[in-house]
Amino acid sequence: MSKKAARHVGKDVCVSDPEFIKFVKNIERPGKAFAAGTYAGADAFDDDDKVGVYAAAGVGYSRAEWSVFDAEAKGPNASAGAGLSLGSGARAMARAELASASAGAGPLKAEVGLGVDTGVGVGPRGVEAKFLGTGFTIGPTTSISLLGNTVSLKLW
């Protein structure tokens, strides 16, 4: 399980595309869940239309999905990566969090915590810039972040 957690957290920092990975394979919605006590990993990936490298480590990670709802909680963690994707473009990001929790319902998502994301992304899915947890994303998913707290809305 820790390898799956490291892969998900690491890929998420490289390729900003919430639809690109399914945690628990062969289980269809409406519900699924995943948890790991500790995780660490570094890897390069070359999946269909996504390539990148990442490193991730943390203590405590859980995620649950049901229908259009999802929730995630992370303890202390750090990750860094760079990736290219046909869907989301180019992205390089480093992230360190003390703790965070997020919840989403359909197109609306909120994350609270203390984190310092720093990096940039540009591509067909929009433009993203963050420095020490404060920044923005403009595109089909538009968000604003302040010291690791984020509110986002998926417009289309």
38-73 pLDDT tens trace: 999 999 989 888 899 999 999 999 999 998 899 999
Which pLDDT value is given to residue 21? 41
Residue 2 phi, psi dihedral angles, 5° rounding: -65, -30
pLDDT tens per residue across span 81-137:
999 988 779 999 999 999 999 999 999 999 999 999 999 999 988 999 999 999 999
Residue 75, C-beta contacts closer than 8 angstroms, at least 6 positions apart: 58, 59, 60, 61, 99
Question: Is the pTM of the predicted complex or chain greater than 0.85?
Answer: no
